[in-house]
Structure 1
Amino acid sequence: MKKMKKFFAVILSLAMVLGMSMTAFATEAGTATQAATGKITVEGLTKEKTTVKIYKVVSWDEANSEWKVENWAKGKVDLTKDPVTINWNALKEIATDANLYQAAKEVSNGTAEFDNLEIGAYLITANGDTTVYNVMGDFTYDYDSDNLMVPAQKTISAKASDYQVVKTFKNDDSDKFVKLGDSIPFVITTTFPSYEDGTKNRTFTITDTPTGMTITNIEVKVGEDTLSAGSDYTLDKCLPSTEAVTVNFAADYIGTENTHAGKTVTVNVTAKVTGTGKYSNEATTNKASDPSKVEGETGSITINKVDKKDNVLKGAEFSVALDGTKLEFVEVETGVYRLATADDAENTKVTNVVATNGSVVVKGLDEGTYNIVEEKAPKGYSVVDVPNQTISAGQNANITVKVTDTKLSALPHTGGIGTTIFTIAGCAIMVAAAFFFFTSRKKANK
């Protein structure tokens, strides 16, 4: 009986030890599932090199059981409201200027993690080589089953706010001066966007808008890869086009895994100058907030024909030559001509332009020094020499020259003295000669 009592006592002791160990294990397990500090994970970044910074905005004052605004953030946080209001954008400006970040990470895998964070509110900024993200902010706490505040882990999806698009001349000539009919190469540069998880309608478009130009060719590259038109992307207009042309990236190419996110997108555009004066080419995307435009121009020469009293003279004809070659023109309207191009096979081309009403304009000219010749003067006036004219970008893009003609010498009209005076003089000489002849003979006969 005593042995049995001892046996049950041992069993009871083992049960008590086991029960205590199970309680301790449960406590440890419960503690393990509850994070001692908070954590914030930022997802959805592009795969380009991105710098992510985190700033503490509000902390928890456990001793006084109240929220406390960090000194640098005061004035941008209102703790009197429920819920608390925080001006995240204003804080971003202050934080960036003051460089007050608590931690910073440089990532290229699309994700940044910040752990060992105390309970509070945090501001997060992210900037890539070509991508700027919306300001992000979150709290690192939650409530447990007993409705007590505990540290928590949060995940934020980054969203790009400023995809930039840049339009340039391919040869980096910022002041492009050309002649009518020239083909100009342009380059559009932007960044392939990233998309938040769960985004269903993933679209990406780039639009090129010409003014005074005709788009003749478009090529698209992403990273080092040249894309195929019709499969990787489509154009909404047939080329050549005087209207805006949009590059629509195919849904299959965009994909669902952000495979191309952060890569440089290059669109090479070739456009022909078809207008005189100013021309431009503008690029936009459905991701960038601001367009990018480049501009150029063609030159012109205006010739005004007058007399010495500045009275207008009509009907003079001029030729215009560059580098020893007379240029051909197409008349646009009376007294207005544009430079002829290769597309003018069906149009009448002339080398002499006519100042029908006393003035003539030739447009679409390139930079250079032009030789102007008055080929035909108005009736009653003499042809005069015209100084060479030099066109250049800026104030000398459009030149005006005054050509002053002189009247021809007047001819005698009917009833005037004409040749009578010469006839009389001749007759007088003959009479005088005869007189002297006969006088000399009489003297000789004596």
Structure 2
Amino acid sequence: AVAHAYVFGLDLVKVDKDDTTRVLGGAGFEVSRDGQVLRFTKLSDGVYRLAVPGDAGVLSEVFSHTDGTLSLQGVEARALSLRESTAPSGYFKVPAFMVEVLPVWNTDASEVTLASYRTHGTSLAFVSQDGRAVMVADPAHSLANLPYTGGVGILILLVLAILFLVFAVRPYYLSHRAETTANILE
């Protein structure tokens, strides 16, 4: 009997949220599985292999290459949690998200023919159109990308201020009008 043991990889590409053709390098990620932080060995810029006992230079944080790519090799086919620890300069960090590495088996289920991905947790992490990589889109520091926190409270204060002005100005206007009318009658 022959048994095949498979290890998989995760290919990730960092892009600008507003222009997905613009790649971003230098993003740092902490990768975990089942609550345990995974350790990696750096093979080259943007390419890491899951560390095995005896590896030197083991890292708990991995960084994307200047061309925006990050390749993690030697991971199991199941869910990985990624948390962006370092955003590229001029960009916000994306919220933590999960990537599932899913094997696709041949018709008789004897061999894996392809690995696909599924993402959860944020709309800023999604599978590329060709299905070969997970795209992570960082929002740039700009007014358009600021969160709308407190928007409802500001709206309520604005409505109250307008109502106050209407009720404060109306008596003044009526008294001014009455005074003008009184002056005409004299």
Deviation at 1:335, TM superposition (A): 0.8
Residues 1:396 and 2:105 aligned together: no
Question: Secondary structure of 2:139's partner?
Answer: coil
The residue correspondences of 1:3-152 to structure 2 (distance < 5 A) are none
Q: Name the residue aligned to 1:179.
A: none
* Residue of structure 2 equivalent to 1:300: 9
Contact 1:299-1:397 at 8 Å conserved across structures = no
Task: State which of 95, 117, 121 in structure 2 corresponds to 1:385.
Answer: 95
Partner of 2:30: helix, strand, or coil?
A: strand
Distance 2:47 2:75 in 1: 13
Distance 1:379 1:370, change over 3 A: same
SS at 1:388 equivalent: strand
Alignment pair present for 1:374 and 2:84: yes
**How many Å separate the matches in 2 of 1:338 and 1:397?**
19
* Paired residues, number: 117
Aligned pairs for 1:175-194 (under 5 A) are: none
Structure 1 residue 352, shift from structure 2 partner: 0.9
Contact 1:372 1:386 in 2 (8 A): yes
Distance 1:401 1:393 in 2: 15
Residue 324 (structure 1) aligned to one of 23, 35, 44? 35
Aligned to 1:352: 61
Answer yes or no: is the 8 Å Cα contact 1:327–1:351 preserved in 2: yes
- 2:2 matched to which residue of 1? 168
> Does 2:177 align with 1:343?
no
Instruction: Give the partner amino acid of 1:342.
Output: P
Letter matched to residue 339 of structure 1: L
Q: Is the 8 A contact 1:335 1:359 kept in 2?
A: yes
Residue 364 (str. 1) matches residue 91 (str. 2): no
Q: Deviations over 1:161-213 (max 9, x none)?
A: xxxxxx333xxxxxxxxxxxxxxxxxxxxxxxxxxxxxxxxxxxxxxxxxxxx
Rounded to whole Å, the distance in 1 between the matches of 2:9 and 2:116 is: 7
Letter in 2 for 1:403: V
* Cα distance between partner residues in 1 of 2:36 and 2:102: 19
Superposed displacement of residue 408, structure 1 = 1.2
What CA distance in whole angstroms lies between the structure 2 residues aligned with 1:314 and 1:168? 42
- Secondary structure of 1:168's partner? coil
Whole-angstrom distance in 1 between the partners of 2:96 and 2:136: 7
Match of 2:26 among 315, 329, 345: 315
Deviation at 1:386, TM superposition (A): 4.6
Q: Which has the higher strand share?
A: 1
Secondary structure at the counterpart of residue 57 of structure 2: coil
Question: How many angstroms does 1:355 deviate by?
Answer: 0.5
TM-score relative to the length of structure 1? 0.25
- Deviation of the 1:360 alpha carbon: 0.7
Question: Whose relative contact order is higher, 1 or 2, with alpha carbons under 8 Å and at least 6 apart?
Answer: 2
Deviations 1:66-103 (CA, angstroms, capped at 9, x unpaired): xxxxxxxxxxxxxxxxxxxxxxxxxxxxxxxxxxxxxx
What are the within-5 Å matches in structure 2 for residues 223-262 of structure 1? none
Aligned to 1:406: 139
The 8 Å contact of residues 298 and 397 in structure 1, kept in 2 or not, is answered as no
Amino acid of the structure 1 residue aligned with 2:134: V
List runs of 5+ in structure 1 lacking aligned partners.
Answer: 1-166, 170-294, 411-446
Q: CA deviation at 1:356?
A: 2.4
Q: Distance in 2 between matches of 1:168 and 1:312?
A: 42
Contact 1:315 1:356 in 2 (8 A): yes
Unaligned runs of 5+ in 2: 105-113, 118-131, 144-186
Q: How far is 1:387 from its partner? A: 3.1
Choose from 322, 330, 333 the match for 2:44.
Answer: 333
CA distance in 1, matches of 2:81, 2:97: 7
In 2, are the aligned partners of 1:386 and 1:403 still within 8 Å (CA)? no
**TM value normalised by structure 2:** 0.58
Shift in alpha-carbon separation, 1:339–1:397, aligned structure 2, 3 A: farther
Alpha-carbon distance in structure 2 between the residues aligned to 1:389 and 1:168: 30
Q: Which amino acid aligns with 1:365?
A: V
